[in-house]
Amino acid sequence: MPKYLILKHYQGGPEAPGFAPMSEWTPAEMEAHFQYQRDTIKMLQDAGEFVSADAAAPTGNWVQYGGEGKPPHVLDGPFPETKELIAGWFLIDVESEQRAHEVAAYVSKAPGKGGEPIYEWLEVRPMMSEPPPVE
Amino acid sequence: MAPALDEDLLREASRQVLGALVRRAADFAAAEDAVQEALLEATLKWPESGVPAEPVAWLTTVARRKLVDVQRSDASRRQREANAALEPEPGPTERSDDTLLLLFLCCHPALSPTLAVPLTLRAVGGLTTREIAEAYLLPEATIAQRISRAKKTIGQQDLSAFRAALAAGEPDKPVVLRVLYLIFNEGYTTGDRIDLAAEAIRLTRLLYAASPDPEVAGLLSLMLLHHARRFARFDNGNLVPLDEQDRTRWDRALIAEGVGVLQAALAEGRHGEYQVQAAIAALHDDARSADETDWTQILAWYDELVALTNNPLAELSRAVAVGEVDGPLAGLRALDGVEERLTDYHRLYAVRAHLHERAGNTNAASDLFAKAAASATSTAERNHLLRRAAQARAATTER
């Protein structure tokens, strides 16, 4: 049974027509959006498909080996040329890729301004499994 | 300190008790709950009282009592008579029949494999929910939910036709074989405590003991013949291809058993896909070195496998055999028409890369191995393919 990572990006995908940024949402619209995320997790748990879900802070540090005997290089925030940022993810274990796509479409339907679906683009990546003994 | 309870004994006992309860037409979910309660009572009591002389009988009695308690309270709550058929009668236990019934229920066609696999491991294999979760690297709650959904789904089925077919000895075996095959072939090898391949073999042995059908034998043999190579398949975490494996590390006892089971099955003259795959595995296991492999016979079995299954993956493997018998260019020609029927491209690229390499086209081989690596579905395979790509590239620059 394959695992899939459903990635939410802060930016990177094409914007849906009529998209309104979160800064223009009312508190009630925002609460409905957050509730939808919790309901999604509950839906996945009830289906026996949930592995984990998490969100990442929008910014962090970039870290690199600093060379023999030296501390690591640490840079603030993303590089200017970085086009995308991971906002969070759902890790699911499902019967098929088709089902993973259904789940992603469900996540994409989360309500935004005026309670309308935000049509968010999500990246669906299969996770590596074990090589089967019988090839 | 109280002595530790024998886990194998508990697992074996729980399966027998559950089988006995379910055979008496008890509701599956209720019976499973009752057995779990009885097991809990055993784990609490036995360390003090000692394991009873007849642990299965003890557990059966306790589980029946729990089941009847539940049914009585249900009945009084709903103000209706408990169905007399639900009350298990004492009688001789027909162990193998019980196991069969349980296994076929757990692999009921109404269940998707994601539900049938954990239910089978729990109810027939006797593994705990936590152990199954660990084996599949999933949260325990997720496995618990799958088992609960599976029990609910079975509870909604009309099982009368199912029971009649089983009583007549005509159950739907392919579904059960498929579930057991998935447990063997789609498990993780990283689990420390639970070896899913060994569990699958144990379950298939149970089925074989109860119902020695040639395809059941074929599946058991296939598992044994592949399991025999498990210690040679990896070297320091790296996947070792069949032709490079250290054959002294193959388990000769398992191979002998697998070959014996297979020969008896083939003698019945009712070939099926598992028997044919086992025959191919047996020919590989039989060769003392990769050079001594009887590819002509292997090709003949692949011809039969393709005819039986019309599976493009079987055709891919057949092309490798053609490459060995008639040369790599013939192998590449055998791939014509296979490509458009495949969904899993990494194996196609890997096979084509292998054949090109054997034909001396190391440049093409290197590109194809790299393409195969990019679409590999496991880290071990990807790393192996990347290594093969690098080797082919090095061979190209050397010339």
Tokens read off for B241: 């291809």
How far apart CA A98 and CA A100 sit, in angstroms, is: 5
Interface test with A, best of B117, B119, B137 (most A CBs within 10 A): B137
d(CA B140, CA B52): 31
Distance from CA of B162 to the nearest CA of A (A): 25
Distance from CA of A93 to the nearest CA of B (A): 8
Interface with chain A: mutation pick from B194, B377, B383, B384, highest number of A CBs within 10 Å: B377
* β B238-239/A85-93 pair status: unpaired
CB contact under 8 A, B146 and A46: no
What pLDDT sits at residue A82? 66
Look at A133 and B230 and tell me if their CB atoms are within 8 Å.
Answer: yes
Tens of pLDDT, residue by residue over A33-59, are 999 999 999 999 999 999 999 998 877
Chain A residues with CB inside 8 Å of B117's CB? Answer: 1
> Closest partner residue to A130 among B146, B188, B281, by Cβ?
B188
Between the alpha carbon of residue B47 and those of residues A54, B56, B61, B160, B310, the distances in Å are: 43, 16, 19, 41, 56
pLDDT at site B89 = 42
Task: Tell me, yes or no, if A1 comes closer than 8 A to chain B by beta carbon.
Answer: yes
Of B142, B233, B317, the CB nearest to A48: B142
What CA–CA distance (Å, rounded) separates B314 from B311?
5
Q: Nearest to residue B193, comparing CAs of B231, B136, B242, B240?
A: B136
* DSSP string across B185-203: HSS-S--SS--HHHHHHHH
| A96 inside 8 A of chain B by CB | no
- Residues B108 and B358: their CA atoms lie apart, in Å, by 46
Token pair belonging to B147: 């088992």
Residue B298 has φ and ψ, to the nearest 5°, of -60, -45
Q: What is the pLDDT of residue B225?
A: 97
Whose tokens are 């027909």? That residue is B94
pLDDT at B189: 66
Helix ranges (DSSP H) in chain A? 27-46, 97-108
Which amino acid does the sequence have at B347?
Answer: R
DSSP state letter for B29: H
Q: Is A129 on the interface with B (CB under 8 A)?
A: yes
Q: Give the residue on B whose Cα is nearest the Cα of A128.
A: B378
Q: What is the pLDDT at residue A126?
A: 94
pLDDT of residue B35: 85
Q: Which residues of B touch A130 (CB under 8 A)?
A: 186-190, 378, 380
Q: What is the pTM of this model?
A: 0.83
Please choose, from the candidates B125, B135, B280, B256, the residue with its C-alpha nearest in 3D space to the C-alpha of residue B196.
Answer: B135
For residue B379, the distance in angstroms to the closest alpha carbon of chain A comes to: 6
pLDDT for position B93: 44
Percent of all residues in chain A with a pLDDT value above 70, rounded to a whole number? 91
| CB contacts, 8 Å: A94 with chain B | 114
CB contacts of B230 in chain A (<8 Å) are 133
Shortest CA gap A2–chain B (Å): 9
- Both tokens of residue B78? 């709903």
| Residues A16, A120 contacting (CB under 8 angstroms) | yes
Residue with tokens 């925002």: A30
Judging contacts by C-beta atoms under 8 Å, the chain A residues touching residue B139 are 50-52
Distance CA B26, CA B85 (A): 8
Please indicate if any CB of chain B lies within 8 Å of the CB of A57: no
Q: Does residue A100 register a pLDDT over 90? A: yes
Which residues make Cβ contacts (< 8 Å) with residue B79, sequence separation at least 6? Answer: none
Q: In terms of C-beta distances under 8 Å and separation of at least 24 residues, what long-range contacts does B112-115 make, across chains too?
A: B112/A95, B113/A1, B113/A95, B113/B178, B113/B179, B113/B182, B114/A1, B114/A48, B114/A93, B114/A94, B114/A95, B114/B146, B115/A48, B115/B146, B115/B147, B115/B149, B115/B150, B115/B153
pLDDT for B37 equals 79
Instruction: Identify any residues that bridge with A8 across adjacent strands, giving them in sequence order.
Output: A88, A122
Q: Give the closest residue to B372 by CA, choosing from B361, B362, B359, B383.
A: B383
Task: Report pLDDT for B5.
Answer: 65
Residue B142 to residue A130, Cβ atoms within 8 A: no
The Cα-based distances of B310 to B283, B316, B334 in angstroms read: 22, 11, 14
Flag whether pLDDT at A27 surpasses 90.
Answer: yes
Using alpha carbons, select from B189, B175, B202, B283 the residue that is nearest to residue B234.
B189
pLDDT digits (tens, 9 = 90+) for A54-76: 998 877 888 999 999 999 999 88
Which residue positions in chain B have pLDDT lower than 70? 1-5, 25, 73-97, 189-193, 399
Which tokens is B81 given? 């008579």
Q: What stretch of H or E contains B378?
A: none
- CA-based diameter of chain B, in Å? 88
The percent of residues in chain B predicted with pLDDT above 70, rounded, is: 90
Q: Which residue of B has its CA nearest to A52?
A: B139
pLDDT band at A110 (very low <50, low <70, confident <90, very high): very high
Identify the pLDDT of residue B95: 57
Q: What three-state secondary structure class fits B205?
A: helix
Q: Which letter does DSSP use for residue B341 in this model?
A: G
The angle formed by the CA atoms of residues B123, B144 and B12, to the nearest 5 degrees, is: 20
